[in-house]
Amino acid sequence: MKLNTNQHIPQADPYVIKARNKYYMYVTGEKGVMLFESDNFSFWKELGICYKKFGEFNYWAPSVIEIGDKYYMYVSSMPEGETDTHKERIQVAVSSSPSGPFHFIRFITPEFSIDPHVVKSGDDLYIFYSLNIYKADRVGTVVVLDKMYSPLEVVGEPKVVVRPTLDEEIFMKDRFKKGEHWHTIEGPFYYRKGNYHYLFYSGNCYQNENYFVGYAVAYGDTDDLLSLDFKKYPSDNVYSPLLRKNEFEEGTGHNSVLDVGDKTYLIYHGRDYNLKDKGDQRTARFCEIKFDKEIIKIEKR
């Protein structure tokens, strides 16, 4: 179901939080991070750009966390004029308000790094994000996890937690080397329910046929996320998307998750059919999800 927003504005990689009795949705933007606001999760209004840094563009997949009386935004971007997207890297910006404006503090990861999700677990901060691996049975983009010294500094010892295992995760054949296909696992979002730890991710590319949302799950009575062993559901060798294209939308992926009242919503981007060749036409949509131990089920979209 589409969020009630201006669907003429691209809303890729929607990340939603509740703060100060309102809902805020941050989305990817070429010239800066775009922000939408809602009083009730039903009707949304566009607030415009809430963050940009001089000399940068392509602000991908923002996420925001409230710590103390400040709001920290994590997002990747690249230098203006650059054409190689592998120059993307993650930075942190801060604001005293969820609506911004956010102000650049520093870059916190090297090139190439995208799709950050910073979470607080126990007394510690962790960051999930995606980077590239070039030596593996299946080379490509993977999801990693690292600990943070503070909201402004990453330890710098990323651990791979979800890696490609399927042909359906191939983004491009022979991308950099003949006979070596490039895979993509990106868009991590962590969510905990009891002792079950869920890690949502997107596989493949939003322009390709097999693009999907999947998830990995770990079980443990612990706040130490690095000690967990995340396993793809239902297994490494079975293509069983939680979310993929259906009869009325395609390009469905890169989600966040939010509890609204007694319901839990998966908020994702999708594209109406016949818009694939008309620029970035991904817009925000949502559906209810329910949990039964390691199983996640989507209610009717």
What residue spans define the domains of the chain? Answer: 15-298
Q: Between the CA of residue 222 and those of 126, 127, 205, 216, 227, what are the distances in Å?
A: 14, 17, 33, 17, 8
Query: Distance between CA atoms of 284 and 255, rounded to whole angstroms?
Result: 9
pLDDT for 26 equals 98
Query: Distance between CA atoms of 28 and 35, rounded to whole angstroms?
Result: 9
pLDDT in tens, 239-260: 999 999 998 899 999 999 999 9
Query: Are the C-beta atoms of 199 and 217 separated by less than 8 Å?
Result: yes
pLDDT for 299 equals 87
Q: Average the pLDDT over 37-51 and give the result.
A: 93
pLDDT in tens, 1-18: 677 666 678 899 999 999
Phi and psi at residue 92, in whole multiples of 5°?
-120, 140
pLDDT in tens, 133-184: 999 999 999 999 999 999 999 999 999 999 999 999 999 998 888 888 999 9
Phi and psi at residue 127, in whole multiples of 5°?
-125, 125
State the chain's mean pLDDT as an integer: 94
Query: Distance between CA atoms of 144 and 149, rounded to whole angstroms?
Result: 17
C-beta contacts of 37-46 below 8 A and 24+ residues apart: 37/99, 41/260, 41/265, 42/4, 43/4, 44/3, 44/4, 44/5, 45/5, 46/5, 46/6, 46/9
Across-strand partners of 292?
A: 295
Task: Specify the residue for token string 């956010």.
Answer: 102
Phi and psi at residue 299, in whole multiples of 5°?
-75, 175
Q: How far is CA 265 from the centre of its chain?
A: 15
Query: Distance between CA atoms of 163 and 139, rounded to whole angstroms?
Result: 9
Query: Are the C-beta atoms of 123 and 148 separated by less than 8 Å?
Result: no
Query: Distance between CA atoms of 281 and 49, rounded to whole angstroms?
Result: 18
Does residue 187 carry a pLDDT above 80? Answer: yes
Tokens standing for residue 294: 């390691």
Query: Are the C-beta atoms of 60 and 88 separated by less than 8 Å?
Result: yes
Query: Distance between CA atoms of 273 and 163, rounded to whole angstroms?
Result: 30
Across-strand partners of 37?
A: 24, 45
* CATH architecture of structural domain 15-298: 5 Propeller (2.115)
pLDDT in tens, 45-97: 999 999 999 999 999 999 999 999 999 999 999 999 999 999 999 999 999 99
pLDDT for 248 equals 87
Tell me, what amino acid is at 149? Y
pLDDT for 276 equals 59
